Amino acid sequence: MQNVPVLMYHALEDQDHPAHAKDPGEQLYILHKDTFYSQMKYLFENAFKVFLLEDLLQLEQWPEHAVVLTFDDGHESNYTIALPVLEQFGFKAHFFITTDWINTPGFLNTTEILKLVEKGMKIGSHGTSHSYFNEMELPRAEKELAQSKLLLEHCTDSLITSFSAPGGRMNANTVKIAERIGYNLLCTSEFALFTLNNKFRPVPRIPVKAGMDMAVFKKIVHKDANLIQRYKLKSSILSSLKKLLGNTFYEKLRITLLNRK
């Protein structure tokens, strides 16, 4: 079976550009610039082909050493830190942007978004408010999907056809609304490889977290079956817990546990 790891990043930081995490949960996803650089250097030196999703889907056969890079939220570090590293290695990436956060401290401004496009990067929607779509009323879901798409199209002067659900949380209604509005690529946070025979379904992604060491990163991009299965099981358990508890209680419990010493 042909499959590809789609990696999910968030904010990057270095000594001069701290990410200013709002809570311990967000801190889990902040990578130091040096870690990100080492990962990109490894991909480059080991002849990995880095694709945009749209380009990958045009192929009838996927290369063995292929990977997709995505970033969620629209942090300022997408432009100040990630872009220079990506350009150094000739890589392209997707940037999914929360539109209410545009032009606010720590996040991309409209000029930076346009420059990402000019550099060959792909822009997608991450909704307007970073609220979870799986528990959202349908009129609001439609409004968020439509408004964020329209605003990003205005910012980039290009068609926006991809959407990443905040927290990876969406449902069948979200998919129907998104497709009706004009999205044809939907990304989740399901921990799995993206497979050729499922390429018209929502795209699973593998989160790259602050605590991920290089050995684990290498196993992920080389699609180590044992590691992928172990992480997939953990992700499935957490997903079931979210459904059981609901978003609000799950997030409160998560923050409480993360704040414990």
pTM as predicted:
0.90
User: What value does the mean pLDDT take over residues 192-215?
Assistant: 88
Q: Give the chain's domains with CATH numbers.
A: 3-224 (3.20.20.370)
Residue 138 pLDDT more than 90? yes
Q: What is residue 247's predicted lDDT score, i.e. its pLDDT? A: 57
**Would you place residue 27 in the very low, low, confident or very high pLDDT band (cuts 50, 70, 90)?**
confident
Q: What is residue 258's predicted lDDT score, i.e. its pLDDT? A: 40
Residue 255 pLDDT more than 70? no
**Would you place residue 256 in the very low, low, confident or very high pLDDT band (cuts 50, 70, 90)?**
low
Q: Which residues, 6+ apart, have CB-to-CB distance to 75 below 8 Å? A: 10, 11, 12, 19, 106, 107, 108
Provide the percentage of residues in the chain whose pLDDT is more than 70: 87
DSSP letters spanning 107-153: B--HHHHHHHHHTT-EEEE--SS---GGGS-HHHHHHHHHHHHHHHH
Is the alpha carbon torsion for 14, 19, 20, 22 positive or negative? negative
Could you list the beta-strand ranges (E) of the chain: 3-4, 6-9, 12-13, 31-32, 49-51, 66-73, 94-97, 122-125, 162-164, 185-187, 194-195, 206-207
Least confident of 14-23, 80-89, 98-107, 119-128: 14-23
Residue 91 pLDDT more than 90? yes
Q: What is residue 242's predicted lDDT score, i.e. its pLDDT? A: 62
Pairing verdict, β 3-4 and 194-195: antiparallel
Q: What is residue 70's predicted lDDT score, i.e. its pLDDT? A: 99
In angstroms, rounded to a whole number, what is the distance separating the alpha carbons of residues 261 and 250?
A: 19
Q: What is residue 23's predicted lDDT score, i.e. its pLDDT? A: 58
When the pLDDT of each residue in the chain is averaged and rounded to a whole number, the result is 90
For residue 130, give Cα distances in angstroms to 68, 87, 212, 225. 23, 28, 25, 32
Q: What is residue 260's predicted lDDT score, i.e. its pLDDT? A: 47
